[in-house]
Amino acid sequence: MLNQSQINAEKTNSIVNDNWWKGGVIYQVYPRSYQDSNGDGVGDLTGITQRLPYIASLGVDAVWVSPFFKSPMKDFGYDVSDYCAIDPMFGTMDDFDTMLAEAHNLGLRIMVDLVLSHTSDQHAWFNESRTDHTNPKNDWYVWADAKPDGTPPNNWLSMFGGSSWQWDGRREQYFLHNFLSNQPDLNIHSLDVQDALLDVVRFWLDKGVDGFRLDTINFFIHDKLLRDNPPLPEQERNHSIATKVNPYNWQNHIYSKSQPENIAFLERIRNLTDQYENCACLGEIGDAQRGMQLLGEYTSGDKRIHMCYAFEFLENRPATAQWVKTVFDKIDIEAPDGWVCWAFSNHDVERLTSRWSLNNLSKYTYAMLLHSVRGSVCIYQGEELGLMESEVNFEDLRDPYGIEFWPEYKGRDGCRTPMVWQANAVNAGFSTEKTWLPVCAEQSQQAVDIQESDVDSLLHFFRKAIALRKALPVLQTGTQISTDARGGLLSFIREDDSSCLYCAFNLSDEVLEFSLPLGNWQNINQNMGKLCVNPIESNKLGPWQFCFALKNTNN
């Protein structure tokens, strides 16, 4: 394979992206829990390769692979000690190359999860930075003197509890860590640090990856003056992703993250990725107060991040009709030119089925809703099976977040337990040996092999929903207008230059009436099952039913 840098050396900023990401569907794989290929109880890259045909069968466009870089695993790969090396737990660089090649053979793109805001404290950069105040990397991390009484420089708090400052005796200074104390924050105000991180991006682009999921992109830049964060009013804490038992949720983090200088660095990332054909970046924005505003700023135009995923539907509140309307009204105001990638689940939140108390009908309805709204889509492994949250005993916990706040908050292990492939196999087909987290017996009854044999299963329905999205370009890139909520009835119109699609969802247990707008509409059923109503023949939706009607706007 030719080196991509050589191919693109004379074509900087001249390649036209085919925009596969705009309206695309991305499947997230958490490597530790997807498939163990070597019998050590931990998933690996070869295991992912073995399961790529299954992922391709879903009809998705890309696979987001959570971190597999060399790491001491204090935060399970989100604490990187070498950005350009594979942790032996997951395999070798040859294993990665094989996975990438097989994905491409199957028509899948690979998006690597890059953690650029911080490293492990075992990274060579940090080891050099902490030696003294004069070494070449002395300012590569966020160092600050103690207050006169020896306490931390300000009141900033860590996402994982306690102060976000850790004392280092070698430098006799504090260093910033927004997450674990083993995860020191890089000083991205430094252009040398930016250049080093861009070299990491370039390394993986040259390997042939198709894009990146960029972890916590609004944490890249901190306030240079280290000003204290103000308190967050108590009434605004209720639905935050951060658990209420964590005082992190008591601050308005206007200085510790989400700084305006961040945009210049994001533009440097986009400028580099645009030098590679059909590459896309998906940013994670973690800001409960200004998330949608930042999404609008970070994805506006064609010089910043391609898309960002929003946390509104990852919160603890269900996506009621009114809440969906509220979110899209907010988008229209704060991110009219932005591009959202919607997720109902990921590796950091309780599984959707449990978090929203879904039943056997509502699982299907929310799956269809996810693939109908404007934006791109992320599916977290097992979401297509409707898996519930696993109950993990304290002695089996691995997540430092859960260990810190148990039992009021049980952490993220419950959504990270191994994927269930075969109901009656050892460890549900994930591994032949003791697994790093226990396999959930209840989840095993929803295993892939059981759902493959049932044409009415949620797994088959996900395939149909994705296929419908691909069959109707208006669902991929069309605008969304006339979003309305009346009780449990949610309706909106997707529109592009050639077609108009009316969508209505009954997000309740009641029978509700809807009104199809005037026009020459046609029913769109596409064999979506009993929950999909023909709106030409009926104006009623039973509990958790939905309907689609299409008309051509060229006439």
Q: What is the 3-state secondary structure (H, E, C) of 77-107?
A: CCCCCEEEEECCCCCCHHHHHHHHHHHHHCC
Q: How far is residue 498's CA from residue 423's CA, in Å, rounded to a whole number? A: 46
Residues 6+ apart with CB under 8 A from 206: 3, 4, 5
Q: What is the 3-state secondary structure (H, E, C) of 228-266?
A: CCCECCHHHCCCCCCCCCCHHHHECCCCCCCCCCHHHHH
Pairing of strands 82-86, 69-70: antiparallel
Whether the Cβ atoms of residue 120 and residue 79 lie closer than 8 Å to each other: yes
Q: How far is residue 213's CA from residue 470's CA, in Å, rounded to a whole number? A: 22
Q: How far is residue 286's CA from residue 308's CA, in Å, rounded to a whole number? A: 10
Q: How far is residue 62's CA from residue 423's CA, in Å, rounded to a whole number? A: 27
- What backbone phi and psi angles, to 5 degrees, belong to 214? -100, 110
Helix residue ranges per DSSP H, 448-520: 448-452, 458-471, 473-477
**Annotated active-site residue in 284, 297, 350, 495:** 284
Which residues partner with 489 through β-bridges? 486, 506
**Annotated active-site residue in 36, 87, 210, 215:** 215
Pairing of strands 522-523, 546-552: antiparallel
Whether the Cβ atoms of residue 503 and residue 523 lie closer than 8 Å to each other: no
Cα separation values, 423 from 92, 359, 464, Å: 30, 21, 23
Q: What is the DSSP string of 153-222?
A: SS--B-TTSSBSEEEETTTTEEEE-SS-TTSPBB-TTSHHHHHHHHHHHHHHHHHT--EEEETTGGGS--
Active site annotation includes 284: yes
Helix-strand-coil percent breakdown of the chain, rounded to 5?
A: 30, 20, 50
Peptide bond into 407 cis (omega under 30): yes
Phi-psi region at 411: left, alpha or beta (left = phi > 0; alpha = psi -120 to 50): left
Could you identify the residue written with the tokens 């296929």?
A: 467
Which burial class, exposed, middle or buried, applies to 406 when counting CB atoms under 10 A from its CB (0-12, 13-18, 19+)?
A: middle
Active site annotation includes 496: no
Which burial class, exposed, middle or buried, applies to 179 when counting CB atoms under 10 A from its CB (0-12, 13-18, 19+)?
A: buried
Catalytic residues: 215, 284
